[in-house]
Amino acid sequence: MIWISLIFYDNPTQNRREKMPKKVRTAKGQIIDFDLLKIKEQMVDAPKPSNVQARQDFIDQKMRRRVKRVKDQLLEAKKNPVNVKSDLEVKTTEEGPKIDEIKEPQKRKIKRKTKK
């Protein structure tokens, strides 16, 4: 029985397998390193340093202030409506209101350079 326990627990090939990196080649031929993925997961799950957390809080507060400022500007604009005058003049006649047409601006002629 001692010999069997040595096979299961002290097998050198088993130790080598555990230490070997787990890399797999996909059907497209890309190599995926599962050890690297595991390390990246641990980095994401690790608590953030205080300076990183402070920077994120600063950015969040800045965004909140910006949204609040824009919201206040919209409310002020809503309270004070703007009178927009039309470019068209309305003339009243016996037949009813008549609207003058706007003259369209003339097209500019563009001089193109030609190769000589």
Domain that holds residue 58: 2-75
Q: Is residue 15 part of a domain?
A: yes
- The number of domains in the chain is 1
Distance CA 11, CA 116 (A): 86
Distance CA 1, CA 9 (A): 12
Q: Is residue 91 part of a domain?
A: no
Element (H, E) at 36: helix 34-45
Q: Is the pLDDT of residue 61 over 90?
A: yes
Check residue 4 and give its pLDDT. 43
Check residue 58 and give its pLDDT. 94
pLDDT, tens only, 38-56 = 899 998 888 888 898 899 9
Structure token pair of residue 53:
């957390």
Q: Is residue 6 part of a domain?
A: yes
Q: Is residue 57 part of a domain?
A: yes
Check residue 9 and give its pLDDT. 45
Q: Is residue 11 part of a domain?
A: yes
Q: Is residue 80 part of a domain?
A: no
Q: Is residue 25 part of a domain?
A: yes
pLDDT, tens only, 67-82 = 988 888 888 888 887 7
Q: Is residue 89 part of a domain?
A: no
pTM here? 0.31
